[in-house]
Amino acid sequence: MSGAPVNTPRITTLENGVTVITDAMGHLATASLGIWAGAGSRDEVSNEHGISHLLEHMAFKGTRRRSARAIAEEIEAVGGDINAATSVEHTSYHARVLAEDVPLAVDVLADILTEPAFDPEELARERNVIVQEIGAALDTPDDLVFDLFQERAFPGQPVGRSILGTPASVKSFRPDDLRTYLDRNYRAERMIVAGAGAIDHDRLVEEAGRRLATLPRGDKPAAVAAEYKGGVEIGDGRELEQAHVLIGLEGLSYRDPGIHALQVFTNILGGGMSSRLFQEVREKRGLCYAVYAFHWSYGDTGLFGVYAGTDAGDLGELVNVVVDEIGATAETITEAELNRSKAQAKVGLLTALESSGARADQLARQMLAFGRPIPLEEIIAKVEAVTLEDARAAGRRLIAGGKAGARPTFTALGPQKPLESAARFAERLGSG
């Protein structure tokens, strides 16, 4: 594609199985780098709900060589920043620094993963911090409704549980619990060191080889397979200015050959201001301020959904319109919509490559998912190859999944009676 970056990432596998991957971006003076573990909330056993996220927090609370304050001060003394993130299938620890400070960043990141102190007093404080974080999420309905959605789609399964855990589960964890989870899941073969920007591959390999040599070898246990169920979950009837609604169906794994067609379909349905849902629900009918479609992919499944926030009095009409638009889009996508969705996808891909942090994250996730970096040209070719019939078929396949036995997923927060009526309308999505 004209104007696209053409850098070829460099890859080295360390003696213990850790993969180092870099993409040098010569016009930058800073480097983004991090350590990604192929383990997240779905790798928790029944008594570990929320421990992945707690471990991420505790990584910054001191090591055998550094206090919590020293970790922050050493990175910020050179103008850098350090952070971490937990998801369903991955956890990342990352920093951004000047090129000459990459060895320091590697040392700090490796230190927090190989020599964590898990001091009981620090743990007690951080457990309380996360309980406060859970409380904040419970007070944020447009966040909470997504947790309900995931849980209702995959009930009683690690992939369906909230990443934060519950106050009771978080308060129960002790230092030995963290060490058990860390030793079981943070295995060298599922660890990626990724860097982008002003990064020297050979130097990063040298530093990572020295700092991460003690990581245990061997793969982590396989995560529990996901089984989509669906159903209805209406929240606690709290008094809200708006009702927050999610309607969804089982989606596709990122390994499924139909993933690009489904992403194109999702974008046409609700991916921007020109999308079907935005134009019909907001612009034409004025039923809400926010409405959009999304698709989350995992290693063995996916979850498609539509979110909207609206007044209780408009709920029935809104849900009916959303269900109708999903079905109509699967049958009537136009060439103009197809081309527009492809263009949006390509711009999104290119935009990610313009950020060193996004590029490092992309490379690490590709290595964990596919065992190789996916060239931009390959991804764009697959997007370009999606035909009009492919996009329509992706929508029909999505809807047909509900007809095959699994119910649609409907979750909502707001006044009970209007939501119960809206849930019955949503059932049409799985009944033809």
Catalytic residue ranges = 56
In degrees rounded to 5, what are phi and psi of residue 115?
Answer: -130, 40
Closest CA to 330 of 420, 286, 269, 373: 269
Alpha-carbon distance of 225 to 193, in angstroms, equals 27
Going by C-beta distance under 8 Å and a sequence separation of 6 or more, which residues neighbour residue 205?
Answer: 12, 14, 20
Token match 């290595």: residue? 367
Token match 């036995």: residue? 405
The DSSP H or E segment spanning 367 is: helix 356-370
In contact, 191 and 90? CB cutoff 8 Å: no
Residue 27 has which token pair? Answer: 């016009």
In contact, 40 and 89? CB cutoff 8 Å: yes
Alpha-carbon distance of 220 to 56, in angstroms, equals 18
In degrees rounded to 5, what are phi and psi of residue 385?
Answer: -75, -10
Closest CA to 422 of 310, 302, 340: 310
62 C-beta neighbours (distance < 10 Å), count:
22
Long-range contacts of the stretch 418-422 (C-beta < 8 A, 24+): 418/243, 418/312, 418/313, 418/315, 418/316, 419/234, 419/243, 419/245, 419/312, 419/315, 420/234, 421/315, 421/316, 422/243, 422/245, 422/315, 422/316, 422/318, 422/319
Token match 């421990």: residue? 51
Residue 397 has which token pair? Answer: 């396949």
Q: How many residues does the chain have?
A: 432
The DSSP H or E segment spanning 310 is: strand 302-310
